Amino acid sequence: MMTLRHMEVFHAIMVTGSVTGAARLLNVTQPAISAVLKHAESRLNMKLFLRCGGRLQPTEEAHAIFPDVAAIFGRVHAVGRLAQDLVGGRLGTLSVAAAFPIANGYLAKAMASFLVERPHVRCTLQSLTSPQVLDRVINREVEMGLAHEPIVSSAVDTQELMSWSLACVMPNDHPLVERDEINVAELEPYPIITYQPQIVFRPFVDRAFSQAGIAPVIAIQVSIALTGIMLARFGAGVAIVDPQLVDSMGIPGVVVRKLRPRIEAKTLIIQPKDAPRSIIVNDFVDHLRKVIRDGEI
């Protein structure tokens, strides 16, 4: 029987045409190549090469077995290339679940630019509610999730991705567009669009109005920021929502103005607790942070 080492030396001699070439290819000495070849021929009880004029000539038996040996080393080299691609983050899969405004905003842009240099990486991006995102991560249906705080579960690890603030989104002909920032009290005369009571941000909006001593007209309540932004665009009122989709999606006809006092929130990266992080996931998190840091959203 030929061992893998026998096959390696035989393959190297066949490819290079000489013991010297095989030694150079395998980075060993010529005597080492000769010794392995002699042992292989002894084990097989047949000659693989004949010396003719100082050169090795493959026997008919060598020609017969070479295609199968070459196929084996073709697969070995393929495995090596695969390992290099995996280490370099150029091959593999990436599965992410994210809250709707995140998935359809800067995350979509970051994933698109991430894949430009990694065309062989295959991605899955699910757009969900924050509780659904947490559920997907806990059940390990995705490798990572992105959602707004609070995230409370002993089954996951979290780290802050970014902090941001709710803002006023209004049509570009609204009376308040001349202001760089808007105090909550100034919104009293205008219909307000904001989140439904069960949405995590709504209590903070209500508290801001209460502390300002006003009772605005909540004309429309929505479950996601995009709905509020589009309602504001069509003149239904001033939307107090996550404003990031305005820039990331390039929504025309509306402007964003800062709200005072600030209603701050954080976006968290969620991953299964104690689960190994793939190279692709780590590279993507770094890329996502860079996209946000460089203001590409």
- Looking at the chain, the whole-number percentage of residues with pLDDT higher than 70 is 94
DSSP H or E stretch at residue 16: helix 4-16
pLDDT (tens digit per residue) in 10-53:
899 988 888 888 899 889 999 999 999 999 888 888 999 888 87
CATH code where residue 121 lies: 3.40.190.10
Residues 284 and 158 in one domain: yes
pLDDT (tens digit per residue) in 129-170:
888 999 999 999 899 999 998 888 899 999 999 999 999 999
Task: Identify whether the C-beta of residue 284 lies closer than 8 Å to the C-beta of residue 199.
Answer: no
DSSP label at residue 178: G
Q: Where among 43, 67, 87 does a domain terminate?
A: 87
E strands present in the chain: 49-52, 55-58, 91-99, 120-128, 144-148, 156-165, 167-171, 181-183, 192-195, 218-222, 238-241, 254-260, 264-272
Average confidence score pLDDT of the chain: 88
Q: Which of 227, 251, 249, 263 is nearest to 172 (CA)?
A: 251
Residues 113 and 75 in one domain: no
Instruction: Provide the pLDDT for residue 296.
Output: 47
Residues 95 and 49 in one domain: no
Q: CA triplet 178, 262, 249: central angle to 5 degrees?
A: 65
pLDDT (tens digit per residue) in 50-109:
888 778 888 999 899 998 888 888 777 766 665 665 555 555 788 999 998 899 888 998
Residues 117 and 243 in one domain: no
Residues 278 and 257 in one domain: no
Quote the domain boundaries for residue 138: 91-163+266-293
Residues 59 and 205 in one domain: no
Residues 174 and 258 in one domain: yes
Tokens of 228: 């509020």
Instruction: Provide the pLDDT for residue 119.
Output: 82
Q: Could you give the number of structural domains in the chain?
A: 3
- Looking at the chain, the whole-number percentage of residues with pLDDT higher than 90 is 48
Residues 176 and 253 in one domain: yes
pLDDT (tens digit per residue) in 245-264:
898 888 999 999 999 999 99
Does residue 279 surpass a pLDDT of 90? Answer: no
Instruction: Indicate the pairing of strand 181-183 with strand 120-128.
Output: unpaired
Residues 191 and 256 in one domain: yes
pTM: 0.66
Residues 52 and 196 in one domain: no
Does residue 183 surpass a pLDDT of 60? Answer: yes
